[in-house]
Amino acid sequence: MTREPVTLTVLDWEFVTYGAPFFDLGHFAGEAWVKDRMLDPSAREGSASRLITSSLFNKYRGMGGTIELERVVPLIAAHIASSLVTEKWATNDEEVKDIASAALQMVKTLEDGDMTRLKDDSFLNHVLY
């Protein structure tokens, strides 16, 4: 039995045509990073969060959009950092430090100008490259 392909459509009702697309891409990817991080490490590769975000970014590129890392990545990092406060999903102080460190490393990578270091984060490597 074969399954028909499924089409997923993402709509951003509150900000349609309001701002630059990198805001939506950054916040979407940031939320997906958080969901991915909640998984057991053995389940992250090929997770729904990675597949959906990768598909969104590829479709955006396919429609002529450009993913400007210097604009998208700070929003990913900001979303990750803010989720530590708003969602309180980290289970202990060590996990909070690790997650905050990951977000800070994203920003430092931009500051250093070596965008290839973003590949060190397995989620970003899967989604951005």
The answer to whether residue 1 is domain-embedded is: no
pLDDT tens, residue by residue, 56-92: 999 999 989 889 999 999 999 999 999 888 877 777 8
pLDDT reported for residue 8: 67
pLDDT reported for residue 38: 86
Task: Give the residue numbers spanning the domain of 76.
Answer: 20-38+46-128
| Residue 35: φ, ψ to 5° | -60, -40
Q: What is the pTM of this model?
A: 0.82
Total number of domains in the chain: 1
The answer to whether residue 53 is domain-embedded is: yes
What b/e string do you get for 78-116 counting C-beta neighbours within 10 Å, with b at 16 or more?
Answer: bbbbebbeeeeebeeeeeeeebeebbeebeebbeeeeee
